[in-house]
Structure 1
Amino acid sequence: MSQSPAARPHTRWGRTIGIALGAALIVGVLLLAFTWPAKTSTVHNIPLAVSGPTAQVAAITEALEAEGTFTVAPATDRADAVAQIESRDVYGAIVLSAPPEVLTASANGAALSQIFQAVALQVQSQANQAAAAGAAAAGQPAPPAVTVSVTDVVPLAATDARGAGLASAAFPLALGGMLGGVLVSLLVVGTWRRLFALGAYTILASCLIVAVMQGWYGALQGDAVLNLLAIALALLGTSSLIVGLNAAIGTAGIGVGAVITLFVANPISAAAQPLQFLPEPWGAVGQWFVPGASVSLLRDLSYFPAADALFPWLVLVGWASAGVVLAMIGHFRNQEVVHVEGALETDVVRAA
């Protein structure tokens, strides 16, 4: 029979203080995990293509790379620059034609669109200054002002004009994977039953997410089947890791899996901003984890079908496979423990 609250002994003061400090520490870690990317983000090494006359391309490349904001790649012409943007080799381009033009892709995020708007103004100012200086040197009147247009070659869908829906998908995917892994670990007994539960959960949850994110909200574009497969792998990658760690090292594995997902992988996933905005090398490192790979893959599937998406597919398959392998290792380890314990009990009985 349980004791009434009044009859229970009071918690020792040392334990009380320790619990308070631990809870405060957890809040601090949560705060750092979710605010650190925004606090430390800087604009650097954004891939940009430039096409035009050789001398002009060399001059603007030197100026842009000196700032450290951009990494410049050459483009033979406007069509080549567009192709590089569509394959996500670069995020934008400067076409030094007459008049100059800046190409961007709002599907990469609002922050990048704003940056390329500023680039257009900078190119426009430099072009007008150069034209005015040339005319003055030749003793001619100033030419008409040059206007640099900005063309969005990969725009966001009208159903997600700000890109908020796609960016916000990362945290629910991470949390959903954690929730599935924790519930299966705690409520389902038996390795094969756990794997079946993971599969059933992954399929059902993925169908629901696609129905809402693509069918209702319109945040996802492209092939719904491919989007469903990507989301299923993302959920399975996180949930199977938690189940596998639980099977391999015990209940502590649930906490380890949650920490990896929530405190390590999610903050460096580059879901809300380009990976180049994060301190190096954490943006690139984040793409090796499920949250980063899943967001990049869904963006490619929705807006950049020409991009090489092999890497994020492999990352998601790798994490899902690792979780299943860990679950199987835990299964065979537990079987051996049961056999050893059974043999010991038999020997004791015989000895008696």
Structure 2
Amino acid sequence: MSTRSPQTSHPSGTVPGRTAGVTAGQTPDGTPGVTPWHRVLGLAVGLVTVVSVVVLAFLWPSVTAEPRDLPVAVAGSAEQVAQVEAGLAQGAPGVLDVTAVDDRDAAVALVESRDVYGAIVLGAEPEVLTASAASPVVAQLLGQQATALQAQVDAAAAAQGVPAASVPTVVVTDVVPLSPDDARGTTLGAATFPLVLGGIAGGVAIALVVLGTGRRLAALGTYAIVGGLAIAGILHGLGGLHGAFLADSAAVGLTLLGISGTIVGAAAVLGRPGIAVGPVLFLLVANPLSAAAMPVEMLLAPWGAVGQWFPPGASATLLRDLSYFPAADTTLPWLVLAGWAVLGVVLVLVGHRRTWSAPVPSADDPLAASGRA
């Protein structure tokens, strides 16, 4: 004779953990559960708002970009420089910002130190100096100035009765050309966005997976060093970077550390909401303002200068200088990248102190328990 296990009776025949008369996917009245209309419409409108902000953030800099106050040098006598400035003010107002120099050598020095984008050399041998490595767009713009300068030389020669065969021809010289491996500069210009994504991905992953302040700092350091060497190696192999390998690796590593460290530090201080710092600050704000593919001066003031104080902008400037402009002063971008790296480490340590001064967190929340070493 078989025996049956006694069954426990529950009020109204309900199953433990469920409301009486309600099955999975049903509302209390027994009908299939559906999302309320106000939540559906609110979600749709919210998603459209987010997408609109992303599209605006990425397109606004390029749509509003235009040549303005681009620094160039003009070599010649005071009278000749004044004539060129007057001609530029009439033909291209507000486009070029002229710096007068004594001779061609002084103009070349300014171009090689990246203080100007190019130069106009006047005199018996007129010449236009460009630097496509600084900006192919500005180099093309200055090349157009050679045509205008030639017209002025021809007019002056005709007024003086100089034979056409004796009129000098304006020469265009690319003082700092792009490498043949990256003749259009697309590889170097496109490198900034993957670096931003890499920094964000590394920061989010470390914040979510790694527990313990010491272990997080070790993960950040390892990620920055190995990532800097690997990415610099890839960019060198593709022809995008041409500076000293270790210097390029340090620049890339500091960029990754500045972005990922800030995210991990924000998560340590703010908890899970701190992870949103990365996409908002670095992807939607800093990356569009980095001026990686255009001159800083082409962005609306003061946003071009502001972008240079974030890792994407500082990294783009530093890598270009290391590759093509060894005479340029790279102090500011190095300090900016180092500053963000230090900020990330400090935030991680502050989060550690905050966690230990707070009540003991639940072990179920990795972010809440992340301050433990």
Q: Quick one: which of 189, 192, 195 aligns to 2:214? A: 192
Aligned amino acid, residue 41 of structure 1: A
Aligned to 1:245: 266
In 1, the alpha carbon distance for the partners of 2:293 and 2:164 equals 44
Q: Quick one: which of 136, 150, 153 aligns to 1:124? A: 150
Q: CA deviation at 1:223?
A: 0.2
Aligned to 2:185: 163
Indicate conservation of the 8 Å contact 1:47/1:89, yes or no. Answer: yes
Does residue 140 of structure 2 align to residue 114 of structure 1? yes
Q: CA deviation at 1:142?
A: 5.6
Indicate conservation of the 8 Å contact 1:131/1:143, yes or no. Answer: no
Q: CA deviation at 1:64?
A: 2.6
Q: Quick one: which of 313, 325, 345 aligns to 2:334? A: 313
- Secondary structure (helix, strand or coil) at the match of 1:338 reads coil
Q: CA deviation at 1:110?
A: 1.5
- Taking structure 2 as the reference length, the TM-score comes to 0.86
Does residue 11 of structure 2 align to residue 11 of structure 1? no
Q: CA deviation at 1:133?
A: 2.5
Does residue 81 of structure 2 align to residue 81 of structure 1? no
Q: CA deviation at 1:144?
A: 4.4
- Secondary structure (helix, strand or coil) at the match of 1:189 reads coil
- Taking structure 1 as the reference length, the TM-score comes to 0.91
- Secondary structure (helix, strand or coil) at the match of 1:106 reads coil
Return 5+ residue gaps in structure 1 as ranges: 342-352
- Secondary structure (helix, strand or coil) at the match of 1:305 reads coil
Between the two proteins, what is the percent identity of the paired residues?
49
Does residue 287 of structure 2 align to residue 266 of structure 1? yes
Counting matched residue pairs gives: 336
In 2, the alpha carbon distance for the partners of 1:4 and 1:133 equals 95
Aligned amino acid, residue 311 of structure 1: L
Note the alpha carbon deviations across 1:140-192, whole angstroms, 9 max, x for none: 76664442111011111111111000000110111110000000011111111
Does residue 82 of structure 2 align to residue 58 of structure 1? yes
Does residue 317 of structure 2 align to residue 302 of structure 1? no
In 1, the alpha carbon distance for the partners of 2:310 and 2:108 equals 30
In 1, the alpha carbon distance for the partners of 2:352 and 2:87 equals 60
In 1, the alpha carbon distance for the partners of 2:278 and 2:361 equals 29
Listed as ranges, the matches of 1:256-295 within 5 Å are: 256-295=277-316
Note the alpha carbon deviations across 1:268-308, whole angstroms, 9 max, x for none: 11011000110111111110111000000000000001000
Aligned to 1:68: 94
Q: Which structure has the larger Rg over C-alpha atoms?
A: 2
Does residue 159 of structure 2 align to residue 148 of structure 1? no
In 2, the alpha carbon distance for the partners of 1:329 and 1:29 equals 32
Name the stretch that deviates more: 292-301 or 51-60: 51-60
- Secondary structure (helix, strand or coil) at the match of 1:108 reads coil
Aligned amino acid, residue 257 of structure 2: L
Note the alpha carbon deviations across 1:177-222, whole angstroms, 9 max, x for none: 00000000111111111111111111121121111100x2011001
Task: Indicate the RMSD between aligned Cα atoms, in angstroms.
Answer: 2.0
Q: CA deviation at 1:97?
A: 2.7
Note the alpha carbon deviations across 1:296-334, whole angstroms, 9 max, x for none: 000000000100000000000001111111111111001
Aligned to 1:99: 125
Q: CA deviation at 1:55?
A: 1.1
Superposition misfits of 4+ residues, deviation over 6 angstroms: 1-8
Return 5+ residue gaps in structure 2 as ranges: 1-16, 363-373
Note the alpha carbon deviations across 1:117-146, whole angstroms, 9 max, x for none: 1111111111112222233xxxx7666444
In 1, the alpha carbon distance for the partners of 2:331 and 2:63 equals 31
Q: CA deviation at 1:340?
A: 11
In 2, the alpha carbon distance for the partners of 1:63 and 1:234 equals 43
Listed as ranges, the matches of 1:219-258 within 5 Å are: 219-258=240-279
Q: Which has the higher helix share?
A: 1
In 1, the alpha carbon distance for the partners of 2:283 and 2:42 equals 24
Does residue 224 of structure 2 align to residue 202 of structure 1? yes
